[in-house]
Amino acid sequence: MYGKARCVLAGRLASVRGRGPVAELCVDYRLTASELEQFNADGYAGPFDLYEPSEMERHRRSITPKLLNPKTAIYKDEGSAVTTSLSNYDRHLDIDFLAEHITRPEIVDRVSSILGPDVLCWRSEFIVKYPGDEGTDWHQADTFSAVTDSRQPQILWPEGAGAGTITVWCAFTDSTVEKGCMQFIPGTHKKPMNYDESKTLKYDPDSINSLEKAGVKRGFFGYDYRQLQRDPNWSPDESEAVDMVMRKGQFVIFWSTMLHASHPHLGLTKEMRLGYVARYVPACVRVYPDRQMLDEFHGYASLENYGCVLVSGQDRYGHNKIAKTTFGGTPFRRR
C-alpha cells in the first residue's frame, strides 16, 4: 500500500465579512519522490484507497439503472459493434458520480505528478468480466489505432514527446485472481512496443473462451492480440507478471504501453468483476485528431457531443474540444 497523502495547511488570509482570517486546508495527493521513481521504473503505482467498500457498493448500485439506460449516453451506436457497446463509453459526461470520480483529487494529483500540471481526461469506460469469462490477452496500446477500422490514431502526442496514456483502473467490485484481476509485467513500458498497431485484428466469435495461451484461456473480445505482434515467435515472460489484486474502492495507475492482461474469471462466485477505467493525457496531446466519428471494434458513433475534460491546469493549446459541464449542467471540477 502506498503512503497516505501529504497534508499542507495553507494559512492564506481571506476577507470574509465579520469572520476574520480563514485557513484553508489543502490535501496534496501527488506521488512522493520515491513513489514517482518506482512508477517510472515499473510503469504502475498502487493500489490506492479511494472509497470504503460499503461506499463503493452504494455508488455502484445507485448508478446501475443509469448505465442500463443508454438514452442519456453521448454515443448512439450507428454501426454494429460486435464486441462492445459504445454507449458504455464516456459516461462521466452524463452521470454526475462518474464526473466527480474522474476529477477526484486523489486521482488527479497523482496523475498530474506524472504528466505535468495540464491534464485531460479523454476517455472512460467500464470493463466487465463475468463468471466463466476468459482472461484478457497480454497487450499494449500507444495510439489505440489497432482497435479502429480506420487505423487512425485516437491520441497523438507531439513528435518525440511521449506515447500512450495514463490509465486509472478503479475496482467497482473486488478484483481477485479467481475473479480475473489484472496482471502487469513491470518495466515493459520502457522497452520497444511488442505490437504493431497498424496491423489488423480479425474478429472470430468462435475463438471466445476457446483459445489457450501458455496454458491459460485468453482472448481480446473475440480478437487475438497475437495478430499484432511484431515478432510472431515472441511471447511475454509471464514469470515476471504481477497480480494486481484490489478490493472494491481501490484504484491503480499505469501506462497503457506497459504489458498488461488479466486472469480468467473462474466462476467460483456469481459476482462479476467490474472495473471503471479513466484515461488521461497531457493537454499537448491531440485527441481524435481530424475526426468526426468514433470507430472502434466495428462500432461507429458521432463525436459531435464529445469533449475532453480538463481536470488539472490550463488548456494552452486549443486543439481539443473541452467539455466544461456534464449534459445535466454539472461543472467539472479542476485542480
31-312 placed in CATH 3.90.1150.10? no
Q: Give me the pLDDT at residue 151, please.
A: 82
Lookup: cell for 115: 504528466
Task: Specify whether the CB–CB gap between 251 and 171 falls below 8 A.
Answer: yes
| Among 286, 323, 329, 280, CA closest to 305 | 323
Amino acid found at 94? D
Domain ranges of the chain: 31-312
Cell of 27: 490535501
- CA 272, 133, 206, 295 torsion: positive or negative? positive
pLDDT, mean of each 10-residue run, the chain (335 residues)? 42 33 61 97 97 97 88 70 72 96 97 97 95 95 87 91 94 97 97 92 88 91 91 94 98 98 95 96 96 84 93 96 95 95
Q: Which of 242, 238, 181, 233 is nearest to 215 (CA)?
A: 238
Cell numbers describing residue 297: 471494434
Take residue 134 and report the three cell numbers written for it.
476468459
CA distance 282 to 261: 25
Statement: the pTM of the whole predicted model exceeds 0.85: yes
**103 contacts 332 by C-beta, under 8 angstroms:** yes
pLDDT score, position 137: 95
Cα 328 from Cα 299, distance rounded (Å): 26
Q: Which residues contact 204 (CB under 8 A, 6 or more apart)?
A: 222, 223, 224
Burial of 308 (0-12, 13-18, 19+ CB in 10 A): buried
Q: Give every CB contact of residue 77 below 8 A, 6+ residues apart in sequence.
A: 85, 86, 87, 299, 300, 301
Quick one: how many helices (H) and strands (E) in the chain? Answer: 4, 18
| pLDDT for position 200 | 85
Q: 307 near 295, Cβ under 8 Å? A: no
